[in-house]
Amino acid sequence: MDDQTRMLTGLTGLAGLAQADVGDPDSVRKQQSLGQPQQDIGDILQQIMAITDESLDEAQARKHALNCHRMKPALFSVLCEIKEKTVLSIRGVQEEDPPDPQIMRLDNMLLAEGVSGPEKGGGSAAAAAAAAAAGGSPTDSSIEHSDYRAKLAQIRQIYHSELEKYEQACSEFTNHVMNLLREQSRTRPISPKEIERMVAIIHRKFSSIQMQLKQSTCEAVMILRSRFLDARRKRRNFNKQATEVLNEYFYSHLSNPYPSEEAKEELAKKCAITVSQVSNWFGNKRIRYKKNIGKFQEEANLYAVKTAVDAANVSAQASQANSPATPNSAGSPGSYSLSHTGDAYLSLRSLNGEGLNIAPSLQPQVDTLHRATHLTGGYEELSGSGLYTPHRLDANSWQDTTTTTPPSVTSPPGPPGSVHSDTSN
């Protein structure tokens, strides 16, 4: 460090030579032996102090005289040698900096986050990379992504502009220092190694600044991520139509509410949500339905009626056969289903892929149709006789793991035991 400051202060003027020489007792001795009068250190110091009082011209003249001395080159080389030795010894102490693991970590993260990666090429690419890094699985919540992407782009822009600024400043400063040192090397001994070392020091300084920049960028990205990509924080209820579709599927496949991958994709497309969201929904629905069937009875009836009516209509239309269009002339449920028949029909059709692969979904439909015929006939009968007990209808063993569904205690108000004649039937 001392070396450094000396160099830098030396830059200020012509005193550099004298200063450097004084700093090195060896050189003093040599200079003395060069034929200068026998002077002690005090005298030399006196001279040096006097230099400050000299005019510029005088100083220049002295400098020139020194430069022209015939021994000057030899002297310089000796001094350089000596300095090199000391520089090397100092250098040995603070050796090369290892590839800082911290900065490696930051770099990797920024790269993974799409901040430092390929430039603005395509925001989508970077965002995709970020999403992939975030979820590990291709979970894409496309709705909030635009917001996230915008913020990320903002961060990236700031990061890059700052980085560029630093880099520019760094090279500028390096150039400046190198020029000065080169300039000085004419008047005082500076070995190339010394310059190299100075440059290294400068770069270290700047890279530590860069690390701060990277650090804070990483923090910003983390905050952004936690705020935007943590779906739990940004939970939105699905829209009415989506839950409608999902419920329809669920209750019309109540005997086996496990949609296949294709079915999930279909539902996802229909509901404008992701496949994993569909999976989540069915997972939640199954567990919650099983936990408290009573609570879902009304809903079940509702959708059973709807799908049943739809199924009836479909079958009536598909094979323009017979059966005087299932009478939805019932009470309140009937009227409800009537009002919804239209879109429910549509959704059912597209759900089945325009009725192409009816085969797998035929059975459940028959089930619901079967039930619904009873339903539409006499709705209130259900509560009494327990005709409509969706579970255990056929081989639907999906809900009898260990549950022993908490009996009528939790069921809604009404005739305590009789409302839904639980699992018993």
Scanning 1-9, 89-97, 168-176, 232-240 for contacts with DNA by CB under 7 A, the matching segment is: 232-240
Residue with smaller CB distance to DNA, 189 or 390: 390
Q: 3-state SS of the chain?
A: CHHHHHHHHHCCCCCHHHHHHHHCHHHHHHHHHCCCCCCCHHHHHHHHHHHHHCCHHHHHHHHHHHHHCCCHHHHHHHHHHHHHHHHHHHHHHHCCCCCCHHHHHHHHHHHHHCCCCCCCCCHHHHHHHHHHHHHCCCCCCHHHHHHHHHHHHHHHHHHHHHHHHHHHHHHHHHHHHHHHHHHHCCCCCCCHHHHHHHHHHHHHHHHHHHHHHHHHHHHHHHHHHHHHCCCCCCCCCCCHHHHHHHHHHHHHCCCCCCCCHHHHHHHHHHHCCCHHHHHHHHHHHHHHHHHCHHHHHHHHHHHHHHHHHHHHHHHHHHCCCCCCCCCCCCCHHHHHHHHHHHHHHHHHHHHCCCCCCHHHHHHHHHHHHHHHHHHHHCHHHHHHHCCCCCCCCCCCHHHCCCCCCCCHHHCCCCCCCCCCCCCCC
- Residue ranges in 290-329 that form contacts with DNA under rule CB under 7 A: 290, 295
Q: C-beta of 399: minimal distance to DNA in Å?
A: 8
- x/- letters, 239..278, toward DNA (CB under 7 A): ----x--------------x--------------x--xx-
Whichever of 116 and 399 has its CB closer to DNA, that residue is 399
Q: Which of 403, 410, 418, 425 binds DNA (CB under 7 A)?
A: 403
* Residue with Cβ nearer DNA (4 or 280): 280
From the list 52, 402, 404, 424, which residue makes contact with DNA (rule: CB under 7 A)? 402
- Is 132 an interacting residue with respect to DNA (CB under 7 A)? no
Does residue 143 bind DNA (CB under 7 A)? Answer: no
Q: Does 226 bind DNA (CB under 7 A)?
A: no
Residue 364 beta carbon to DNA: minimum distance, rounded to whole angstroms:
16
* Distance in Å, CB of 12 to DNA, minimum: 60
Contact between 238 and DNA (CB under 7 A)? Answer: yes
Task: Select from 166, 336, 379, 398 the one that contacts DNA (CB under 7 A).
Answer: 398
> Could you say whether residue 142 binds DNA (CB under 7 A)?
no
Tell whether residue 140 is a contact of DNA (CB under 7 A). Answer: no
Q: Which of 45, 74, 287, 358 binds DNA (CB under 7 A)?
A: 287
The site for DNA (CB under 7 A) is made up of 137, 139, 141, 230-238, 243, 258, 273, 276-277, 279-284, 286-288, 290, 295, 398, 401-403
